[in-house]
């Protein structure tokens, strides 16, 4: 990635992907022992908001042989930033200067596929894709999300794609009744919108899910990201979080979903808001789904990441958008570490143990 000058660093620190004050809190069940889990790791789904949306797409393409569905709220096309923060800010968030060539972005994906750095793009044909963009979102503009929609249409059967882009909501994760004013993009970027985005998304991504009741049987647990992912977790927080339904804790085989927070939504910034208020846990609780909430951290030094964003422009790794990227490898390691039934797990270093 090109060296940042002062003006670009300042632009990044105040850029679109939200500005929230730091509020620390202790997460529910954070120090509980994680129960032994039996997970179906052949049909994983992922989702994310904003930078987390970019990360969800990157993770899906890296592992589309077993990541079967993706939900993206306010995200843009794969490899939009092209490894350059200047391009990220100029074309991939609140403005699009010049033309974004989807052919060039898709060519990069084909290159990664040929190099074995992402799974076969043919896997995307039958994948389930759920996209969302609020009409009042000015932090990631509609043109950017529209490009992601156009990109997926080149990879995925259109019948498998749902794009919601007609709801008057700001740049946030819409919920039925949790969070801030739906028309304002402000911390913790969870919106009281009278719209259950988590339910709409999971209903599209996972066949046969049923609407949840009003109680949660499960618990939120912490995991040691640094211990699990080692050097690949350098840009991540010490703790990540996992929501485990009671049925899964008791040994039932469960599906897995990974949810990537947005910028300024990591736990040290918003406490348990993202891990507890999006509505994902309620749907997971009654549909035997374990939800992994990996966590970033902010950095005011190189690699510069003042808002705790997921790496979608190359601050953590030049391979950030493929399976060799540090954060992609770290999250895979976390997911596989949850499954007590996995006899061999590919470690971040690429070997089996």
Contacts of 214 (CB under 8 A, 6+ apart): none
Distance of CA 243 to the CA centre of its chain: 15
- Cα angle value 198/203/207 (rounded, 5°): 145
Nearest to 129 by CA among 171, 167, 163, 102: 163
| 171 is a catalytic site residue | yes
Residues paired with residue 299 on neighbouring β-strands, in sequence order: 305
Rounded to whole angstroms, how far apart are CA atoms 313 and 307?
14
| Run of H or E residues at 107 | helix 102-114
* Measured CA distances, 6 to 46, 89, 299 (Å): 35, 14, 15
Q: Which member of 137, 232, 272, 311 is catalytic?
A: 137
Q: Which member of 15, 63, 133, 171 is catalytic?
A: 171
Peptide bond connecting 230 to the previous residue in cis, omega within 30 degrees of 0: no
Rounded to whole angstroms, how far apart are CA atoms 304 and 215?
41
| 337 is a catalytic site residue | no
Q: Which member of 15, 18, 50, 337 is catalytic?
A: 50
> How many other CB atoms sit within 10 Å of the CB of residue 176?
15
| 257 is a catalytic site residue | no
Peptide bond connecting 188 to the previous residue in cis, omega within 30 degrees of 0: yes
As annotated, the active-site residues are 50, 137, 171
């Amino acid at each position: 990635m090109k060296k940042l000058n002062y003006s670009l660093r300042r632009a990044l620190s105040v850029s679109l992907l939200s500005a929230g004050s730091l509020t620390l809190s202790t997460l529910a069940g954070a120090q509980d022992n994680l129960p032994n889990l039996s997970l179906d790791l052949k049909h994983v789904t992922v989702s994310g908001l904003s930078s987390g949306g970019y990360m969800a797409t990157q993770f899906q393409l890296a592992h589309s042989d077993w990541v079967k569905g993706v939900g993206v709220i306010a995200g843009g096309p794969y490899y939009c930033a092209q490894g350059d923060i200047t391009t990220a800010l100029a074309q991939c968030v609140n403005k699009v200067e010049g033309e974004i060539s989807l052919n060039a972005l898709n060519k990069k994906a084909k290159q990664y596929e040929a190099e074995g750095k992402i799974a076969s793009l043919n896997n995307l044909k039958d994948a389930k894709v759920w996209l969302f963009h609020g009409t009042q979102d000015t932090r990631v503009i509609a043109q950017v999300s529209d490009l992601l929609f156009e990109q997926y249409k080149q990879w995925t059967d259109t019948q498998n794609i749902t794009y919601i882009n007609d709801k008057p909501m700001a740049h946030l994760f819409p919920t039925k009744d949790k969070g801030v004013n739906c028309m304002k993009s402000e911390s913790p970027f969870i919106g009281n919108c009278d719209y259950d985005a988590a339910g709409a998304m999971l209903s599209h991504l996972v066949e046969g899910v049923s609407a949840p009741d009003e109680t949660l049987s499960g618990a939120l647990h912490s995991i040691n990201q640094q211990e699990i992912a080692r050097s690949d977790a350098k840009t991540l927080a010490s703790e990540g979080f996992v929501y485990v339904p009671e049925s899964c804790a008791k040994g039932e085989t469960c599906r897995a979903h990974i949810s990537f927070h947005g910028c300024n939504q990591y736990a040290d910034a918003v406490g348990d808001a993202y891990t507890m208020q999006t509505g994902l846990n309620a749907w997971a609780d009654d549909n035997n789904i374990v939800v992994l909430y990996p966590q970033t951290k902010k950095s005011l030094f190189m690699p510069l990441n003042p808002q705790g964003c997921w790496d979608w422009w190359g601050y953590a790794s030049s391979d950030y958008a493929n399976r060799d990227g540090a954060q992609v490898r770290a999250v895979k390691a976390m997911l596989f570490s949850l499954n007590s039934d996995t006899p061999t797990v590919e470690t971040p270093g690429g070997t089996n143990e």
